[in-house]
Amino acid sequence: MRTTQRERLPQTADNRTGTASGSGSGSGPASPGDVRRHRKLPASLVTSIVVICGLILAAVFAPLIAPDNPLAQNLGHTMAAPSWSHLLGTDYYGRDVLSRLLWGGRSAFLGVLISLGVGLGLGVPWGLAAGYWPRWTGTVLMRVADTLLAFPALVLAVVITGILGPNLVTSMTSVGVVFAPVLARLTRVGVLEVREREYVLSARMSGCSKGVILIRHVIPAALGPVVVQATIFAGIAFIIEGGLSFLGLGVQPPAPSWGGDLALAYQYILSSPGQVVAPGLLIAIVVLCVYRIGDSLRARLDTQQLTDRAPETAGIIS
């Protein structure tokens, strides 16, 4: 009921503004029911989206745009200052720093994709099941979630990586396993709240099958907080990926990664501080942009925490 009201009100507000609504349509990731934000998007949000998209493109097309092979050593030309042939200079092994940063972005984005895929792929069905059969199944499933939540994310990721052998896929999969119970909890809460709403009851009374109700009516309304949390996790995953590679437990050298390259450059921080700052700054910028996008998603999608709550309230911590 609350949703219908909330969705209807903005529409009238939009009618009032009239012309303004036409110009803004089609911009931004607005969901069908969300017509209230046809105002201009804030500049910081646009910048964040552009930066993220740019970096994703750079990572995807790294093989095409990278000026050099990221693994090609040139021991006669190490720790070179930026020049036209090496825009950001070369590292301790004479490898082109810019190419390594571009290629390192690939593993960063891939790692985040893996952990989010695993987290959502496990967590959402898990939470749906727990919310839809709240009695025995739900209790057991949530107990399991509690158990996984008793592991600090980084500890579990490090231990699993240590056991299965260090590489990006293993470590980021285990990070996803840590994310899953949180997403499961959020999904479950959303489902429990939504399934008692009038429109779900009326759908049930009009003879919709359980599956149709779940997919058409429950999931879209319940997943707002999950999407918001997923953006937060994306930011956390970037930092964890960097941290694991920094520890030597993620991407294995000589393969390029932001965290790993930072760890290498750290040993020569006085002679070339830029090589430490560049990857660290890249991670920070990406995370900053991801959080900025998450903030505006939260303002749009968070159906549980109604508008009078401050936007920062939903958990920032994993």
* Residue among 157 and 214 whose Cβ is closer to another protein: 157
**Minimum distance, C-beta of residue 33 to another protein, in the bound complex (Å):** 26
Considering just the CA atoms, what is the radius of gyration of the chain in Å? 23
Choice between 55 and 283, CB closer to another protein? 283
Report the distance separating Cα 279 and Cα 69, nearest Å. 18
Residue whose CB is less far from another protein, 30 or 287: 287
- Report, in Å, the least distance between residue 12 CB and another protein: 26
Q: What span, in angstroms and rounded, lies between the C-alpha atoms of 133 and 148?
A: 21
Q: How far is the CB of 1 from another protein (least distance, A)?
A: 18
Residue 115: closest CA among 248, 232, 264, 281: 232
Residue with smaller CB distance to another protein, 140 or 201: 140
Residue whose CB is less far from another protein, 292 or 300: 292
The least distance separating another protein from the CB of residue 170, rounded to whole angstroms, comes to: 11
Q: How far is the CB of 89 from another protein (least distance, A)?
A: 18
CB of 112 to another protein, least distance (A): 13
Distance in Å from the first CA to the final CA of the chain? 31
Do residues 167 and 252 touch, judged by C-beta distance below 8 A? yes
| Residue 172 near residue 239, CB atoms below 8 Å | no
Identify the three-state secondary structure at position 96.
strand
Q: Which spans of this chain sit near another protein (rule: CB under 8 A)?
A: 143-144, 146-156, 158-165, 235, 239, 242-243, 246-247, 249, 259, 262, 266, 269-270, 273, 276-277, 280-281, 283-285, 287-288, 291-292, 308-313, 315-318
Region of residue 40 (phi > 0: left; psi between -120 and 50: alpha; otherwise: beta): beta
Least distance to another protein, CB of residue 267, Å: 10
When the beta carbons of 152 and 220 are compared against another protein, the nearer one is 152
Cross-strand bridge partners of residue 96: 90
Total Cβ atoms within 10 A of residue 286: 25
63: tokens are 């093989």
Q: Is 83 exposed, middle or buried (0-12, 13-18, 19+ CB in 10 A)?
A: exposed
Q: Which is nearer to another protein, 43 or 64 (CB)?
A: 43
CB burial string 177-188: b at 16+ within 10 A, e below = bbbbbbbbbbbb
